[in-house]
Structure 1
């Protein structure tokens, strides 16, 4: 297959995985709606930084070791569940706390900033390693030039950050933001429940 077409096919698969429901998607969507495009873009950079680690593991073939180490996988899953539960608690606390006066700070569920939240959320997602390993493997077999693995890893990182940032910008559409602002507490509650459900899924996974 032509290298350009092969990279385009890989990019399409990555985009499908990127926009499937998951912790990164939920956290970025809420951040972009509540804190604006800039915070969403910063979080997208944090997620892309985490993807740098996951892409390196997948391209280097180290995901096999991860799969064959139940103890390591379980430790990461439990750490991820704890982090998601904490984020969920912050959102639910915000959703059910008394309304604040206009002008008061109602922003992020963390004082550490959107970059760090995005980075930690992505790094602690064990599914990211498995998904990237499964997606990258078919495109790394066969005869390719020496630069090919770097192109695959670079595409994961650049496309991930770019599409997440674009998503944060699209969420600034005025009717959508107005609807969020009018129902922020209910929507934050839904996001909080969704993160808690993902945490429970990690805890009960074999």
Structure 2
């Protein structure tokens, strides 16, 4: 059975991983800044749902098969890289629009919470590094023959930590929504976040 000390240690490692700058961080920040706190929180919950999936499959050994198979790992990696690049390019396209059309796009380009949730979920599920993290992490906190309750407990803790962190981040960024949605600032934000997402896509593809 997982002890209280082990649970705290596990939650600390998951929190550090969630706080590390990466595609998840950029996605939540962008949705919180542009579409508001609800969209940012929804993206964070989508990411947390992806974390739950990876934690469970890692505990049952499925993710280790992905990590061990070069072909499967490469396929997931490339799909994830293309998806991140797509999100980045989509943001950059908005920057290239000028004048009144660009101002109108600022109002229309916000996304609904359900869309933000889906993007967060897909981004996390297509991140093979998340699979590798839980393949390395879960066995350290599970017994040699873990039962289902033990696995679900750690997976639930991973979801809780990830969801709370990204919800806090989304709310903090969402407080500045009015500032971020001004046309000039929005173009700068789209340029920066779009470029970073494309860069992450290229980096993942080349790793």
Residues of 2 paired with 1:112 and 1:8: CA distance?
31
Return the structure number with greater helix share.
2
5+ unaligned residues in a row in structure 2: which ranges?
Answer: none
Q: Does residue 16 of the first structure (1) align with residue 16 of the second (2)?
A: yes
Residues of 1 paired with 2:158 and 2:84: CA distance?
24
Residues of 1 paired with 2:2 and 2:151: CA distance?
16
Match of 1:100 among 84, 87, 103: 103
Q: Are the counterparts in 1 of residues 38 and 113 from structure 2 also a CA contact under 8 Å?
A: no
> Secondary structure in 1 aligned to 2:120?
helix
Q: CA 1:101 to 1:145, structure 2 compared with 1: closer, same or farther past 3 Å?
A: closer
5+ unaligned residues in a row in structure 1: which ranges?
Answer: none
Determine the structure 2 residue equivalent to 1:124. 126
| Cα shift readout 1:25-78 (whole Å, capped 9, x = no counterpart) | 111110011000111111122212212211111111223211211110111011
Q: CA 1:143 to 1:112, structure 2 compared with 1: closer, same or farther past 3 Å?
A: closer
Q: Are the counterparts in 2 of residues 89 and 192 from structure 1 also a CA contact under 8 Å?
A: yes
| Cα shift readout 1:120-147 (whole Å, capped 9, x = no counterpart) | 1111111110112222221114687873
State the Cα distance separating 1:101 from its structure 2 match: 4.0
Q: CA 1:202 to 1:143, structure 2 compared with 1: closer, same or farther past 3 Å?
A: closer
> Secondary structure in 2 aligned to 1:21?
coil
Q: Are the counterparts in 2 of residues 58 and 132 from structure 1 also a CA contact under 8 Å?
A: yes
Paired residues in the alignment total 202
Determine the structure 1 residue equivalent to 2:194. 192
* TM-score in terms of structure 2 length: 0.87
Determine the structure 2 residue equivalent to 1:29. 29
Residues of 1 paired with 2:86 and 2:198: CA distance?
9
CA RMSD of aligned residues (A): 2.5
State the Cα distance separating 1:4 from its structure 2 match: 1.3
Residues of 1 paired with 2:123 and 2:199: CA distance?
15
Q: Are the counterparts in 2 of residues 44 and 161 from structure 1 also a CA contact under 8 Å?
A: yes
* TM-score in terms of structure 1 length: 0.88
